Chain A
Amino acid sequence: MNKTILKIENLSKQYRLGLVGTGTLQDDLKRWWYNLRGKEDPFLRVGDVNDRSTKGKSDYVWALQNINFEVKQGEVLGIIGKNGAGKSTLLKILSKITSPTTGSIKSRGRIASLLEVGTGFHGEMTGRENIFLNGAILGMTKKEIAAKYDEIVEFSGCERYIDTPVKRYSSGMTVRLAFAVAAFLEPDILIIDEVLAVGDAEFQKKAIGKMQEISQGEGRTVLFVSHNMAAVKSLCTRAMVLENGEIVFDGGVDAAVEYYLVGDSEYKNIKVFSTEYDKDDFNLHEISINPVGKVSDFVLDENTTIEINTIFTLKETNKKLHITYVLNNENGDVLFTFSHSGNNLKLKHGVNKLKCILPKGFLNIGTYYLSFYVIENSKTTLFVEKDIMMFNVQHGEREIGSWLGREPGFIKPVFNWIIE
């Protein structure tokens, strides 16, 4: 039914680190000399895995190593990974900007890439002239562009300025015009790199809608790189996680996003203490934050119901103690304080496991810090540890056509609304 349209086999790409230029002549001569004697390139044998934080032995690194995958016609493949994981290198090789060091790519269709919108735009030329030039750069013929010209102009919403040099455009307008040209490309395989990070909310909505139309309605194959997990979750039918130049996960979108976020130690929202907080009245053992009923290395997103677990030993039962948390945003602003004091809970002597549940969608996307307080008699602070926990709330899946950015504010509680 759906046949393979793109096949990538053993793809690797090597880069040279440091100053390119010094010593290249020497290396070139050495390469040439090995080549001449029919030997293997001496610099291809060495080389480390591309991990930017560790110091390697060699000046050459593999930005991509042994990449193998196939893409079926009509698939929308998301490629996610941290900075430097090799995503852009992969896209560059696929779009023929640079060639692989080893391996091959076989394709059954025309590839067009959109690594940047507005490539080749010239400020001195009018919008009209730029539409034609940019379209041709992206691989369209003049005839094709002329046929779609009206649609492009309409989509961009820049009709009034179409005969004005682009340098007089606002940056938003330039981007709109550029995206409009790209949106009307008709390749078999479309490669897109983070172009959604541009434009205002209204335009983003339009752009995502258009992409959806391209990939679903017209059955085109799309390779999509983005850091916006909401966009990946909403658009893609399959996703791949790259890490240090290798594919570490390939499969379902939700699982891939989960894998990617969990792989980052930042997202392990559990802290276990041994004796750091062993005080006269209590001993704090563990704080964990996770989706309800799941373990703490699950990702929290805006649609999850979050639970905060506090495990501690109560040594003194004569005092009336309350565990209290203060939630700060990443700027350090206090958002709110919460405690079990109002719930009439009786803490017992010995180990207590206290659970607090934040309703679904309560916290907006962002990074949050919890401060831990122990309060006596609802008035005296016995103990404080500021910023004891940090956690992130991620983009959740959203409806297609809705905005994929972050709404303003830190909480977005669901209230009761009533029509009377």
Chain B
Amino acid sequence: MNKTIKHKDEWLFEITPKNKLLSFNFKEVWQYRDLLMLFVKRNVITVYKQTILGPLWYLIQPIFTALTFTLIFNKVANIDTGSVPPFLFNLAGITTWNYFKNCLQSTSDTFAGNAGIFSKVYFPRMIMPLSSVITNLIQFGIQLTIFISFYGYYYANGAAISLNRYTLLFPILILLMGLMGLGLGMLISSMVTKYRDLKYLLNFGVQLLMYISAVMYPLALMREKLPKFAWLVEYNPMAYVIESARYMLLSDGSFSINGLLYTVIVTIIVLFFGIIIFNKTEKNFIDTV
């Protein structure tokens, strides 16, 4: 009896200088789920407003990039993609890579890009990067349909491509990429608030990362041609993701459960630190941004 009265008298919440290291408030994010979806909606409908081609831009980007890659890396530089049509090979790599890249780039802009809103109103800051990841997932979905159409076209023309049982793991791969981009993006966005250098580092860092992520070449080719530097690619979890994605979609290249496990572990670590640093930053970033 006494206890219930005491409970009634308790405070609803308390604001103090410091919070616990890992106080990610899932309940609060869940309360704001409507906001999350509205941000996603905003991101989707405002991107290509007042453009002539509109959402077609979602399709133009990967197709032309894949075309360029095919011309340069396959026709000029003679990278061998085995029995898989080079265009499809590149399209698979680019579509998956783009998802990761977009997640990373948009979440890493969370604090700097939303300083205006963040300085005026409170909502769980996590909503912003989450909405970016979901927005990018929608974009990825659209781009995947393009891939599927080309897949169908090549398949009908007798290219040596096929799905396999690992294709079922593809959604997990997407989830991993999204979480990895989210974790890394949160980490970077937190540090950008204080050290602007990272913004510039990120721009070309992503570019460099693509080259060691086996996007435009098979992992095996790296091992064969540049064994000395192959570790760069082998220790890069993104290379595993791209290589596995191609294996799942095209039955080309290699797939290893160990590689996948390694990626899962790295993702969890990155996400863990991402959330810690993000939580620490969100309390005070407005003073430094």
- Contact residues of A with B, CB < 8 Å? 7, 15-16, 20-21, 24-25, 28, 92-110, 113, 115-116, 119-120, 122, 124-125, 129, 132-133, 136-139, 141-143
Contact A136 B121 (CB under 8 A): no
Decide yes or no whether B207 CB sits under 8 A from chain A. no
Contact B49 A98 (CB under 8 A): no
Contact A110 B38 (CB under 8 A): no
Contact B12 A107 (CB under 8 A): yes
User: Of A15, A16, A97, A132, which contacts B120 at CB under 8 A?
Assistant: A97
Question: What residues of B have a CB within 8 angstroms of the CB of A110 in the complex?
Answer: 12
Contact B15 A105 (CB under 8 A): yes
User: Of A15, A99, A113, A142, which contacts B15 at CB under 8 A?
Assistant: A99
Contact B14 A124 (CB under 8 A): no
In the complex formed, the residue of B with least CB distance to A114 is: B121
Question: What residues of A have a CB within 8 angstroms of the CB of B64 in the complex?
Answer: none
Question: What residues of B have a CB within 8 angstroms of the CB of A28 in the complex?
Answer: 194
Question: What residues of A have a CB within 8 angstroms of the CB of B50 in the complex?
Answer: 124
User: Of B16, B32, B42, B195, which contacts A133 at CB under 8 A?
Assistant: B42
User: Of B15, B31, B32, B123, which contacts A100 at CB under 8 A?
Assistant: B15
Contact A95 B122 (CB under 8 A): yes
Decide yes or no whether B200 CB sits under 8 A from chain A. no
Question: What residues of A have a CB within 8 angstroms of the CB of B29 in the complex?
Answer: none
User: Of B118, B119, B121, B195, which contacts A138 at CB under 8 A?
Assistant: B121
**Chain B, range 19-68, C-beta contacts under 8 Å to A:** 31-32, 34-35, 37-39, 41-42, 45-46, 49-50
Report the bound CA distance from A106 to B38 in whole Å: 30
* A111–chain B nearest beta-carbon distance, Å: 8
Given contacts A99-B15, A124-B45, A137-B123, 17 further A-B contacts (CB under 8 A): A21-B195, A28-B194, A95-B121, A97-B118, A97-B286, A99-B283, A100-B15, A101-B17, A106-B11, A108-B12, A115-B120, A120-B117, A122-B46, A124-B46, A125-B45, A136-B32, A137-B35
Question: What residues of B have a CB within 8 angstroms of the CB of A136 in the complex?
Answer: 32, 34-35, 38
Decide yes or no whether B13 CB sits under 8 A from chain A. yes
> Which of B17, B119, B122, B283 counts the most A-chain CB atoms under 10 A from its CB?
B122
Decide yes or no whether B196 CB sits under 8 A from chain A. yes
Report the bound CA distance from A141 to B38 in whole Å: 11
| Number of B residues with CB within 8 Å of any CB on chain A | 37
* B234–chain A nearest beta-carbon distance, Å: 33
Report the bound CA distance from A106 to B50 in whole Å: 47
Question: What residues of A have a CB within 8 angstroms of the CB of B38 in the complex?
Answer: 132-133, 136, 142
In the complex formed, the residue of A with least CB distance to B43 is: A122
Bitwise, B189-218 to A at CB < 8 A (1) or not (0) is: 000001110000000000000000000000
Contact B120 A96 (CB under 8 A): no
User: Of B11, B42, B121, which contacts A97 at CB under 8 A?
Assistant: B121
- Nearest 3 Cβ contacts at the A-B interface: A136-B35, A96-B122, A99-B283
Contact A98 B286 (CB under 8 A): yes
Known contacts A136-B35, A137-B117; A122 and B15 CB within 8 A of each other: no
In the complex formed, the residue of A with least CB distance to B45 is: A125
User: Of A16, A21, A102, A141, which contacts B34 at CB under 8 A?
Assistant: A141
Can you give 28 contacting A-B residue pairs, CB < 8 Å? A21-B194, A21-B196, A96-B15, A97-B118, A97-B286, A98-B284, A99-B283, A99-B284, A104-B17, A105-B15, A106-B11, A106-B14, A107-B12, A107-B15, A108-B12, A115-B121, A116-B120, A119-B120, A119-B121, A125-B42, A125-B45, A129-B41, A132-B38, A133-B35, A133-B38, A138-B121, A142-B37, A142-B38
Decide yes or no whether B287 CB sits under 8 A from chain A. yes
Contact B14 A107 (CB under 8 A): yes
- Contact residues of B with A, CB < 8 Å? 11-18, 31-32, 34-35, 37-39, 41-42, 45-46, 49-50, 116-123, 194-196, 283-284, 286-288
Report the bound CA distance from A106 to B9 in whole Å: 12
In the complex formed, the residue of A with least CB distance to B15 is: A105
Known contacts A124-B49, A125-B42; A137 and B121 CB within 8 A of each other: yes
Question: What residues of B have a CB within 8 angstroms of the CB of A141 in the complex?
Answer: 31, 34
Report the bound CA distance from A143 to B34 in whole Å: 9
* B138–chain A nearest beta-carbon distance, Å: 17
Question: What residues of A have a CB within 8 angstroms of the CB of B121 in the complex?
Answer: 95, 97, 113, 115-116, 119-120, 137-138
Contact B117 A98 (CB under 8 A): no
Question: What residues of B have a CB within 8 angstroms of the CB of A109 in the complex?
Answer: 12
* A303–chain B nearest beta-carbon distance, Å: 36
In the complex formed, the residue of A with least CB distance to B36 is: A136
Question: What residues of A have a CB within 8 angstroms of the CB of B287 in the complex?
Answer: 15-16, 20, 98
Question: What residues of A have a CB within 8 angstroms of the CB of B32 in the complex?
Answer: 136, 139
Contact B119 A97 (CB under 8 A): yes
In the complex formed, the residue of A with least CB distance to B46 is: A124
Question: What residues of B have a CB within 8 angstroms of the CB of A21 in the complex?
Answer: 194-196
Report the bound CA distance from A101 to B117 in whole Å: 22
User: Of B17, B123, B196, B288, which contacts A102 at CB under 8 A?
Assistant: B17
Report the bound CA distance from A28 to B283 in whole Å: 16
In the complex formed, the residue of B with least CB distance to A11 is: B15
Question: What residues of A have a CB within 8 angstroms of the CB of B117 in the complex?
Answer: 119-120, 137
